[in-house]
């Protein structure tokens, strides 16, 4: 998801302070407009496409990204106020992830009601999610955590990394969940071969397959539920079905609909295991 422009940057606190708010974080109107247009059926809104191709807007977006990364690298600010507001409320499932999780709420808002809490943040990698895990999963005391991560690690969104770095971050989150009695649904990466925002990587389908084998094996070894969204979305050769995506990575509403039977069965199994 692109990052929206705002009139001016909120002031940046210095050092440790007693309170931080969410100013400057979370999707703005442009981001939401893009997400709605992306997941919708049919052709994308031409006005949204024109907005995305505006070079001045792109430059503003890059400045906004840099400001966010400098102020709050893991983006703990994005859900800070909502986490506080949920203190003492019943939470059944927390969905931790990146844009695939965040945009799921746009595709199917009804899924994130009745104790289902979305904690996806566009562009995030597993080290960022690990830093959010205590505040955004453990502190909410859910029965289940749905963890779907890795696309942006493959892309190198927060810098070069290794498969072992990814594995260590996933294992750390699994250990935190286990220590606090939280059942984990460990999701596969979706099928994708190339990444539009980092085309220099070339075809990464082999890397995706490698990580998915490890995720499945890890889930089996730990007695966790493995949600195989790759199988539900692929058309073969490591690619997502063309009618499920616009960019080869993110599902549209039809893609999310194909994922939901996997989710329903995973939630049933996780509830039984917990």
Domain ranges of the chain: 1-16+25-71, 80-273
As given in the structure block, the two tokens for residue 101 are 């999780």
Average pLDDT over residues 170-193: 98
As given in the structure block, the two tokens for residue 11 are 């002031």
pLDDT for res 102: 97
Confidence of residue 195 (pLDDT cuts 50, 70, 90): very high
Confidence of residue 274 (pLDDT cuts 50, 70, 90): low
Average pLDDT over residues 245-253: 95
Asked whether the predicted pLDDT for residue 4 surpasses 80, the reply is no
Q: Does the pTM exceed 0.85?
A: yes
User: Hey, is 178 helix, strand or coil?
Assistant: helix
Average pLDDT over residues 7-17: 69
Please state, for a pLDDT cut of 90, what percent of the chain lies above it. Answer: 72
* pLDDT tens column, 256-269: 999 999 999 999 99
pLDDT for res 21: 78
Pairing of strands 93-97, 116-120: parallel
Residue 251 CA to residue 38 CA, distance in Å, equals 9
Asked whether the predicted pLDDT for residue 7 surpasses 70, the reply is no
Q: Which residue has the higher pLDDT, 242 or 59?
A: 242
The residue among 272, 256, 258, 273 whose CA lies nearest residue 112 is 256
Residue 223 CA to residue 105 CA, distance in Å, equals 28
- Indicate the fold that domain 80-273 takes in CATH: Rossmann fold (3.40.50)
pLDDT for res 2: 41
Question: 3-12, 18-27, 55-64, 182-191 — which is least confidently predicted?
Answer: 3-12
Q: Which residue has the higher pLDDT, 46 or 135?
A: 135
Asked whether the predicted pLDDT for residue 165 surpasses 90, the reply is yes
106 alpha-carbon distance from chain centroid: 13
Average pLDDT over residues 139-149: 97
146 alpha-carbon distance from chain centroid: 11
Sheet with 225-227: strands ordered across = 116-120, 93-97, 144-148, 183-187, 225-227
Confidence of residue 104 (pLDDT cuts 50, 70, 90): very high
């Amino acid at each position: 998801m692109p990052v929206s422009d705002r009139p001016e940057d909120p002031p940046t606190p210095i050092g440790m302070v007693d309170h931080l708010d969410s100013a400057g974080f979370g999707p703005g109107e442009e981001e939401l407009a893009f997400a709605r247009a992306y997941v919708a059926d049919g052709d994308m809104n031409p006005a949204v496409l024109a907005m995305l191709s505006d070079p001045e807007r792109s430059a503003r977006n890059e400045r906004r990204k840099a400001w966010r990364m400098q102020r709050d690298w893991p983006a703990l600010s994005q859900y800070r106020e909502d986490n506080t507001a949920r203190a003492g409320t019943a939470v059944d499932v927390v969905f931790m992830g990146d844009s695939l999780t965040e945009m799921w709420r746009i595709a199917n808002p009804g899924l994130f009601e009745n104790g289902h809490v979305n904690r996806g943040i566009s562009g995030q990698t597993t080290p960022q999610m690990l830093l959010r895990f205590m505040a955004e999963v453990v502190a909410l005391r859910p029965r289940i955590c749905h963890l779907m991560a890795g696309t942006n690690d493959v892309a190198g969104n927060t810098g070069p990394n290794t498969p072992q770095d990814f594995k260590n971050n996933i294992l750390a989150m699994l250990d935190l969940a286990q220590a606090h009695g939280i059942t984990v649904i460990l999701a596969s990466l979706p099928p994708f071969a190339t990444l539009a925002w980092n085309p220099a990587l070339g075809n990464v389908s082999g890397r995706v397959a490698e990580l998915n084998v490890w995720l499945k094996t890890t889930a089996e070894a730990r007695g966790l539920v493995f949600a195989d969204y790759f199988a539900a979305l692929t058309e073969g050769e490591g690619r997502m079905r063309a009618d499920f995506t616009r960019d080869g990575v993110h599902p549209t509403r039809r893609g999310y609909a194909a994922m939901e039977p996997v989710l329903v069965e995973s939630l049933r199994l996780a509830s039984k295991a917990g």
